[in-house]
Amino acid sequence: MKFLSLICSLVLLAGCASGPRMDTRHPSANHDSRVQFIVLHYTSTSLERSLQLLTSGPVSSHYLIGDNPPTIYKLVDESERAWHAGESQWKGRTWLNSSSIGIEIVNPGFDDTPNGRVWYPYTEGQIQSLIALLKDISTRYKIDPHNIIGHSDIAPLRKLDPGPMFPWKRLAEAGFGVWPDAHAVAREQTQYANALPSITWFQQQLALMGYETPQNGELDVATRHVLAAFQMHFRPAHFDGTPDAETAAILKVLNTQK
C-alpha cells in the first residue's frame, strides 16, 4: 500500500510540474492595440541635456529626435510605458502614458525677451525624420490621424509643447494628423462673424474634438487654456484663448470633417 501511495504521489507531482494545459484554438477578435495615440513634444533644451533627462531622470519617451544631425534615438521599447504624458486626457482617455507612444524633439521651445516671447522653429531634417517615424508607427498600429496630438492638446492647463512653430499642417498633408479645409473655414467664418456661438457651444465642440473642457457655459480660466491650445494647434498665428469667428469656423469644419 505504501508503495502504491508513493507511485500515486509521484504521478500527481509530475502532473503539477508540467503545469495546466494551454488551449490556444479559440482566439478572440475582440481586441485592439495598446497603442492608440502618438504624443509629440519639444524638449526645451539641448540634445545632450535631453538625453540625460530622458534616460536618467523621472521622465522618458519612446523616441527622441535630435537636431544636428536629426538622429532618431530609441529610448524606451514600444511595448513598455514611457513617462512622457503625465496627467492627461484625450477623447475621454486619461493618463495617456499607458496608451500612447511619446516622441520628443530637440527644440529650445521659447525665450521670453523684452520684446515678447520668441519661439524656435524645427529644422527640416527633424520634420523629415519625424514623418518617417510617424509613417512606421502609424502603419504598424493603425493610428487614427485624429490621435496624433501634442502635449498641449492633452494637458492644456500646464503644457505648451510642441508649440506654435510646429508644422501641424505639413504633417496632416502627409497623412499624420488633421487640418481644416481652408475654403470651408472661410465660408463658416462669414456666418459666425455676425453671430458668435455661445461659450457652451465652444465647450461642446472642443470636447467633441477630444479636449478635456469644462461644460459650464463660462469663459473661465480652464476654458481659455483649452481654447488657446486648440488655436495654437490649428491657428498658430494667434492663440490668446479668446473665442472668435475664425476659431468657431475651424472647430465646426474639423468636427464636420470627422
Q: What pLDDT is stored for residue 5 in this prediction? A: 55
Q: Are 122 and 70 in contact (CB under 8 A)?
A: no
Question: Are the C-beta atoms of residues 151 and 232 closer than 8 Å to each other?
Answer: no
Which three cell numbers, joined as nine digits, stand for 158?
Answer: 500646464
Overall size of the chain counted in residues: 258
Distance of CA 213 to the CA centre of its chain: 16
**Domain CATH for 204:** 1.10.101.10
Q: Which residue has the cell 494545459?
A: 21
Claim to verify: residue 194 and residue 240 sit in the same structural domain = yes
CATH of the domain at 67: 3.40.80.10
| Calpha distance 84→39 (Å, rounded) | 8
Asked if residue 227 and residue 168 are part of one domain, the reply reads: no
d(CA 34, CA 29): 15
Q: What is the pLDDT of residue 10?
A: 44
CA-to-CA dists, residue 143 to 54, 75, 83, 153, 193, angstroms: 24, 21, 20, 17, 36
Contact 105, 65 (CB under 8 A): yes
**129 and 84 in a common domain:** yes
Residues 166 and 207 in one domain: no
pTM: 0.89
Q: Residue 7 is placed in which grid cell?
A: 507511485
Number of domains in the chain: 2
Domain shared by 83 and 121, yes or no: yes
Confirm if 226 and 211 have CB atoms less than 8 A apart.
yes
DSSP state of 213: -
The residue among 154, 173, 192 that closes a domain is: 173
Which of these three, 150, 173, 196, is where a domain ends?
173
pLDDT at 26: 85
Let me know if residue 8 belongs to a domain. no
Instruction: Identify the pLDDT of residue 103.
Output: 98
Structural domain span for residue 253: 182-257
pLDDT at position 13 = 47
Peptide bond into 69 cis (omega under 30): yes
Q: Which residues are known to be catalytic? A: 104
Same domain, 70 and 168: yes
Which parts of the chain have pLDDT scores under 50? 2-4, 6-7, 10-16
* 113, part of any domain: yes
Does 143 share its domain with 48?
yes
Q: Rounded to 10 degrees, what is the CA torsion of 137, 143, 144, 147?
A: -80
Grid look-up 488551449 returns 23
